Amino acid sequence: MLRFQRYASSYAQSRVLRKYPVGGFIHGYEVRRVLPVPELKLTAVDLVHERTGSEHLHIDRDDKNNVFTVGFKTNPPDATGVPHILEHTTLCGSAKYPVRDPFFKMLNRSLSNFMNAMTGPDYTLYPFSTTNRADFANLRDVYVDATFNPLLTPEDFYQEGWRLEHSDIKDPKSNIVFKGVVYNEMKGQVSNADYYFWIKFQESIYPSLNNSGGDPQKITDLFYQDLVDFHHTHYHPSNAKTLTYGNFPLEESLQRLNEEFQKFGKRSRVTGELLPVCLSQDLDVRKAGQADPMLPPERQLKTSMTWICGKPQDTYETFLLGILSNLLMNGHSSVFYQKLIESGIGLDFSINSGLDSASAVNFMTIGLQGVQDVDGFRKTVKNIFAEVVNKPFNRDRIEAVIQQLELSKKDHKSDFGLQLACALVPSWTNKVDPFDSLLFDEILGRFREDLENKGDSLFQDLIEKYIVNKPSFLFTMEPVEDFSQRLEAEEKERLCRKVDQLNERDREIVYNRGLLLQEKQNTKEDLSCLPSVKVSDIPRSDDTFEVRRQEPNVWARMTDTNGISYIRTKRELGNSIPVDLYPYLPLFADSLTSLGTSTEDYSDIEDAMKLHTGGVSTMIDVSSDPVTTKPHLYFRVSGWSLNSKTEHVFDLWRKLLLETDFRKHSDKLKILIRALASNNTSAVAEAGHSFARGYVAASFSAASGISESFNGIEQLQLINRLNSLLDDEESFQREVVEKLIELKKRVISSQGLEFFVTTDSDPVVSSLAKQISQFESHLPNTLHQDGLDPTSFPLLPQKPSTLINFPFQVHYAARSLPGVAYAHQDGASLQVLANLLTFKHLHTEVREKGGAYGGGANYSALEGMLNFFSYRDPRPLQSLQTFENAGQHALQEAQWNSADLDEAKLTIFQRLDSPISRKSEGVSMFYSGVTDEMRQTRREQLLDVTRSDVDRVAEKYLLNKQGSNAVVGPEIDSQTVPPNWQIKNL
C-alpha cells in the first residue's frame, strides 16, 4: 500500500479504487493489488482466479491497440521440441473451432495488427493485438479455445511436428523421407551459425533446460502421445498467466476466461526450477560448428566467458547489472569494445554477449566472433575486469544511459502494449513480480540515490561479488569444414534406421497416412464456425495527417509528441553518383556513424549523442515513384531529442556530414568492414527468402536493381571482397578510402535538401526552422551531374533460375514478376490476388504439403513487383513449380467466392490500418511521395476489387509470363545444374 499512497496525489486514487476495488471480485477473479504507474500512464491490476488459481494481469491504459496474451510455464522434458510442436498443433483446431488451422484462417478473418505464438526456453506465449473491439472478442475466443481445448489430432502432429512419408505421396515405391513443419523450421535454425552457437552454449551451460525448439536429431524421437501428455500437464489454468492491455473493458475478458475455467479445478503449478551448471570452478566447453564461407579460415572461432550473477527476481540488482552491461559493452567508448574489437582480438561481439535475465538466473557474458587466440581473449577479459573494478566510471556515460531510458519511456510506440506483454509474461512465469518490473521511476530514483551515496562502488561491488576471481563458464565453437555434410550424413543414417525398422504393415501405414493427410489438406472446409469481422467494418476513408509547409523545403507535422522533436532530412542524389560508386553508398552511410572526425574520436561523439539525443542515423535509400516507378535515390539523415535539445541534433549532423575523416580513421573503417563481413552468412540464414527475392527482382526494374546492390547478394559480395583487401594497405586506400572520400564530395551538399519535422508546438517548429537554416549554411553548395541517372542503372541479366550457394540444411525459394506503379488501378487487384494465392493455395501447397516453415505471395505496391517465396523449404524446386503454375490455378482451378475475396482484403487492411507511432504520421509522403489523396484512392480501389478484376490481372500478369527464379541454399544433386541453372558462389 505504500507504493499506492506514493502515487495517490497525482493519479486520482479514488477513481482507480472504485474501478478495481482491492479484495473485490470480478467474474470469479479476486482483485489482489492495484498499482498506478503515472510515468507510463497506466494502472496495473493483479487478479487471481479463485477456482483454479490462474493469475491475470490487466494493464489499464488509454490505448486503442489492445493486447491479449496467455502464457504457460513449459519446462521442456527433452530436446524433442515438444513445447514448440505443441505451440503449432494447439492452433490447428479446437473443440469450438474444429477446422484445420483456425489460427491461419483467422489471419484473414481479422483486423488484428499482430497474431502469433512463440516458444521460449521454458515458457510458451500466445499474444495478439487489435484496435477493433469485436475482433478482440473473436480472437480471444479462438486463442482461449485453442490453448485449453485443442483437438491435437494425430494428423496435426504429423503435419506440424514430423513424419515419415513417401517423396511421391502417390507412389508407395518412392523413397521415404522426413517431413514436418517444425522439423524443417529447426533445420533452418541450425543453419544459422548465430543460433547454433547460442543453442549449443545454452545446452552446455544449462543442461537441465533442454532445447524447447527441438533439435532436428531428436525431434524424430517424439511420439504423438508425448504431445498429448505434455498438453495435459502444462496447459491448465493453474499453470497459466493471462494478460490484457488497453482500453477495452476488463470485465469482458474475465467473463470469458471464467466461463472456460469453470470446468477445471485447482492443480499444482509447474514450478520445477531449472538451474544451470554449478560453477565451483572454471568450466571449459568446446563444440564443433559450421565454417563461415564468407570469412577467412583464421577468423572462424566464436568464444565467450559467462558468469552467473544472482537471480532476476531481484529486479533492482538485475537493473544495475543491465546498466553495468551497457557501460561495459555498448558503444564505441565502452571498454570491451575498445579492447576486444578495436584492438582486433575479435570481429564483433557474439550473440550471447551482455546480460541475459530470461531464465532462473542472470548470466553476464563477454563473447566474440572471429577470434584467433582464445587464451589471449580470456586473459584480456580478466585483465579488463581487474582494471575496471579499481577505476572510476565515467559519470557522463552513466547519465547518458539514464537519459536513453528516460527518452525511450517518452517516445510513443504504436505497439507499446505488445512489447510490454512480451517483456512481462516470460519473466512472470519465472516468478518475477510484474509489478516490480513496472516500477520504472521507483527503480530509477533508487538508482540515482545509491549512485549519489555509493558512487562507483555501486558497480564495483557487483563486479567483485560476481566476476573478479569468480569461476566462469568458458565456451568455444570451432569450425568444421564439412559440418553441413556431417549433419546430412547423420540425417540419412537416422532415416535409414527408421525405415529399416518398418515392416510391411508399418510401410502400409506410412503410405496410407500420407494419402490421408493429403486428403485432409485438400478438403474444402466449412469455416462458418469461425468468427470474422466484415469488410463493411473497414472505414472507407483513410486517416489523414495534416502536414504543412513551413518553408519552401521544410515540412512540419504537429501532433502530441510528449515533448520530443523528430527531425529528418533527405537529398535526392539524381545523376551525381558514378555507377562504380553505387555499391559503396551503404558503406559510406554506415561509416558516418562509426568512424570519427578530424578532431574527435567517434566514441566521444557517440557519448554526446546518447547524452543529449535519442539518436542520429544516416542511410541511403532508393524508392520507386508512385506514378512512374522511376527510381529516386536519396541520402537520408534523421535524429530526435527533447524539444529543448534539438540544437544538439544539428550539431551532430554537421560533425558527421562535414568532418568525418575517412583517412585518419581508416583503422576504424577496417573494423566496420570486418564486423559487416562477420554477420553476412547469419543474415542470409535468417532471411534467405528476402535475399532470393531481391536478387530475382533486380532483373526487372532499376529500383530493384539498386536495392539489390545496396542490400542483397551483390552487397554481400562487395563486403566480402573489401574484407579480403584489409591487409593490403595500398589496395585498401585505393579501393575503399578514396572511394568514400569521393562519395563525400558528391553526397554532402545543401543542394536539394528537404526537411520534415514532427513536434508538438508552433514555437518549436519556428525554432527548428531557424536551426535548419543555420545547418544548411554550413554545408557546401556543390552539385555534381556527371554520374549515372538511377533510371539507367544496369539490371542483372535475366536468368530463368539461379542457385545462390550457401551451406544450409534447408532452402529458400523466390520467384518475381513485374507489376505496375502504385497509382495504377491494377495494383490493388494484384495485391488482392497475392493474398488469395497465399491463404487459399500456397499455404496448403508449400507449408502443409511441402513441409516448409512458410511460403506465399506478396505484391510490393511501391516497387511494383509480384513476389512468391518459400522459407526453410525442404523441396524448393516443387515450390517454384507451384509458383509458376499460380496463374493457371487462379484462372482454372480456384473457386474463390465473395467471402474469400473479403478475407483477402481484411489481411491487407490489417497492415494498412495498423496503428502507427506519432513520429511516423505523414512520413510516407515525405519519403515515398505517396500523398493522402493517393492513399485514399488506393484504399477505395482495394475495397472495390471484384473477382473479375482478380481474374483479369492473373491472366495479364501471371499466366504464361516469364518470371525469374532463385533458390538460396546448397546445390541439389543433378537438378540445379547448368545450363538451366546459373550457380552463384559467394
Structure confidence at residue 33 (pLDDT): 96
**Confidence at 1, pLDDT banded by 50, 70, 90:** very low
Residue 271 has pLDDT above 90, yes or no: no
pLDDT digits (tens, 9 = 90+) for 613-638: 999 999 999 999 999 999 999 999 99
pLDDT tens-digit map of 291-318? 988 888 899 999 999 999 999 999 999 9
Task: Please give the Cα distance from 546 to 558 (Å, whole number).
Answer: 8
Closest to 158 (Cα-Cα) out of 510, 667, 600: 510
Q: CATH for 10-262, among 3.40.50.300, 3.90.400.10, 1.10.10.10, 3.30.830.10?
A: 3.30.830.10
Quick count: other Cβ atoms within 10 Å of Cβ 531?
17
Please determine, for residue 10, whether its predicted confidence score (pLDDT) is greater than 50. Answer: no
Read off the pLDDT of each residue in 359-386 and give the average, rounded to a whole number: 96
pTM for the model stands at 0.93
Q: How far apart are CA 430 and CA 274, in angstroms?
A: 10
Question: Which of 44-58, 82-96, 675-689, 767-781 has the least mean pLDDT?
Answer: 675-689
Cα 418 to Cα 57, 66, 523, 559, 898, distances in angstroms: 14, 8, 35, 23, 33
Question: What Rg do the C-alpha atoms of the chain give, in angstroms?
Answer: 29
Cite the DSSP H helix spans in 30-132: 82-90, 102-107
| Residue pair 179/874 in contact by the 8 Å Cβ criterion | yes
Q: What is the pLDDT of residues 555-570, one digit of tens each?
A: 999 999 999 999 999 9
pLDDT in tens, 536-550: 989 999 888 999 999
Q: Is the pLDDT of residue 26 over 90?
A: yes
**Catalytic residue chosen out of the listed positions 55, 155, 160, 165:** 160
Alpha carbon 498 to chain centroid, angstroms: 36
Q: Report the pLDDT value the prediction gives residue 800, as an integer from 0 to 100.
A: 87
Amino acid letter, residue 508: E
Per-residue pLDDT tens over the stretch 905-947: 999 999 999 999 999 999 999 999 999 999 999 999 999 999 9
Percent over 90 (pLDDT), the chain: 90
Tally DSSP H helices, then E strands, for the chain: 39, 29
- What's the pLDDT tens digit per position in 644-671? 999 999 999 999 999 999 999 999 999 9
Of the candidate CATH numbers 3.40.1190.20, 3.30.479.30, 3.40.50.300, 3.30.830.10, the domain formed by 548-792 belongs to: 3.30.830.10
Residue 182: partners with Cβ closer than 8 Å, 6 or more residues away: 81, 84, 85, 88, 160, 161, 162, 214, 219
Residue 9 has pLDDT above 60, yes or no: no
Domain ranges of the chain: 10-262, 283-411+434-478, 548-792, 801-984
Active site residue 87: yes
Least confident of 13-27, 218-232, 500-514, 691-705: 13-27
User: What is the C-alpha to C-alpha distance for residues 8 and 28, in angstroms, rounded to an integer?
Assistant: 28
pLDDT digits (tens, 9 = 90+) for 897-916: 999 999 999 999 999 999 99
Quick one: 770 exposed, middle or buried, by C-beta within 10 A (0-12, 13-18, 19+)? exposed
Of 2.60.260.40, 3.90.1300.10, 3.40.50.1000, 3.30.830.10, which CATH number belongs to 801-984?
Answer: 3.30.830.10
CA atoms within 13 A on the CB side of 678: 23
Task: Read off the pLDDT of residues 79-135 as tens digits, 9 standing for 90 and up.
Answer: 999 999 999 999 999 999 999 888 888 988 999 999 999 999 999 999 999 999 999
Q: In sequence order, what DSSP letters do the residues of 228-260 get, joined into one string?
A: HHHHHHHSSGGGEEEEEEESS-HHHHHHHHHHH
Binning pLDDT at 50, 70 and 90, where does residue 163 land?
very high
Share of the chain above pLDDT 70, in %: 98
pLDDT score at 7: 38
Q: Tell me: the pLDDT tens digits for 394-451?
A: 999 999 999 999 999 889 899 999 999 999 999 999 999 999 999 989 999 999 999 9
List, for residues 342-356, the tens digit of each pLDDT value. Answer: 999 999 999 999 999
Task: List alpha helices for 61-127, DSSP H.
Answer: 82-90, 102-107
- The mean per-residue pLDDT over the stretch 959-985 comes to 92
Average of per-residue pLDDT values in the chain = 94
Across 19-29, average pLDDT? 95
How far from 504 is each of 163, 169, 497, 507, 674, CA to CA, in Å?
A: 17, 17, 15, 5, 56
Query: Do the beta carbons of residue 564 and residue 757 sit within 8 Å?
Result: no
Q: Residue 659 catalytic? A: no
Instruction: At 422, list the grid cell.
Output: 512480451
Q: Output the DSSP codes for 794-815.
A: PPPP--SEEEEE---SSEEEEE
| Within this chain, domains 283-411+434-478 and 801-984 share the same CATH topology | yes
Pick the CATH number of 283-411+434-478 from 3.30.830.10, 3.40.640.10, 3.40.50.2020, 3.40.50.150: 3.30.830.10
- Check: CB of residue 66 under 8 Å from CB of residue 140: no
